[in-house]
Amino acid sequence: MEIEGYYLIGTFWKATGVADFWRRWNPHLSIPNKIFLKYVAKRSPRIIWLARMLIFLFWGLWHELFVAIGTGHYGFGLTLFFFVNYLAVETEKRFFQPKPDSPPRGKLATILTVLFVIASLIICIGTIPSLVES
């Protein structure tokens, strides 16, 4: 989707991991996130995980606010969704980060990534009672 030369939604369907998915989801929103992460990494690299968690929780609460304003339904399903995805990003970065000389991940990684994000969204949205009852 493009408006006046700016892409609102990136090429998330090409993502090969959860971190890559979120980097591609909305390229313009990833810029302030990168600035914040670089600032924290420069100051205190041992707590970069905390900075990532704060970013995901901020965006989860941001989405909750607009869902509550727009629909009158409220809960913490979207914040839970973002937190689950934060845990997936941290797990991926700590245990499954590919080595620089390894071959690129294939289409299976892309399919599993997109399925994970969709499934976690469906499960977490299902935790909001007022949305389930509607």
Residue type, 131: L
Going by C-alpha positions, the residue among 71, 53, 58, 4 that lies closest to residue 29 is 58
The whole-number average pLDDT for the span 125-134 is 59
Average pLDDT over all residues of the chain: 79
**pLDDT tens digit string along 70-128?**
777 777 888 888 999 899 888 888 887 766 666 666 777 778 888 888 888 888 777 65
- Look at 1-15, 59-73, 89-103 and tell me which has the smallest mean pLDDT: 1-15
Residues near 57 by Cβ (< 8 Å), separated by ≥ 6? Answer: 79, 82, 83, 86
User: Worst-scoring range by mean pLDDT, 20-34, 52-66, 89-103, 112-126?
Assistant: 89-103
pLDDT at 12: 78
Q: What is the pTM assigned to this prediction? A: 0.74
